[in-house]
């Protein structure tokens, strides 16, 4: 069972371009989370998704950022018109449902390191 897969591992974008970060959850996991890690900081929650449904986007910036988790394919975190301050490591995590149908601990991918130049 492969772990949470994120690609690309490293992404360089010029200011004003779009960044697309992909996350394939572990097999059988139906919940995906996106986190952002700035240098010397812990991870900050951004968004929590189920397939075709955003559960909680309270951590997402109001503009330029969007996330989706389609019925088929990976979850995508999209950043439009990137700025230098978007440079960070972006981590995806997925979690399974337990026997009671509740999600439990999150398993993290290795992250995508976005550099805006």
Partner 1 sequence: AQSVTQPDIHITVSEGASLELRCNYSYGATPYLFWYVQSPGQGLQLLLKYFSGDTLVQGIKGFEAEFKRSQSSFNLRKPSVHWSDAAEYFCAVGARGSGGGADGLTFGKGTHLIIQP
Where along the sequence are the contacts to partner 1 (CB under 8 A)?
Answer: 4, 33, 35, 40-45, 48, 55-56, 58-59, 91, 93, 95, 97-98, 100-111
For the CB of residue 39, give the shortest distance to partner 1 in the complex, in Å: 11
Closest CA to 90 of 105, 101, 75: 75
Name the residue nearer to partner 1 (CB basis): 14 or 58: 58
Tokens for 105, please give them.
């601990």
For the CB of residue 15, give the shortest distance to partner 1 in the complex, in Å: 25
* CA distances for 68 relative to 41, 101, 117, angstroms: 25, 22, 26
Task: Give the distance, in angstroms, between the CA of residue 72 and the centroid of all CA atoms in the same chain.
Answer: 16
Name the residue nearer to partner 1 (CB basis): 66 or 110: 110
C-alpha triplet 9, 11, 14: angle, nearest 5°? 175
Name the residue nearer to partner 1 (CB basis): 15 or 44: 44
């Amino acid at each position: 069972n492969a772990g949470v897969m994120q690609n690309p591992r490293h992404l360089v974008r010029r200011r004003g371009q779009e960044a697309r970060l992909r996350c394939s959850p572990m097999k059988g996991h139906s919940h995906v989370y996106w986190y952002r890690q700035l240098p010397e900081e812990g991870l900050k929650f951004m968004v929590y998704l189920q397939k075709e449904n955003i559960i909680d986007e309270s951590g997402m910036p109001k503009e330029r950022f969007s996330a989706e988790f389609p019925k088929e394919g990976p979850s995508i975190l999209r950043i439009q018109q990137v700025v230098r301050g978007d440079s960070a490591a972006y981590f995806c995590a997925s979690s399974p449902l337990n026997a009671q149908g509740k999600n439990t601990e999150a398993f993290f991918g290795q992250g995508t390191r976005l550099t805006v130049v």
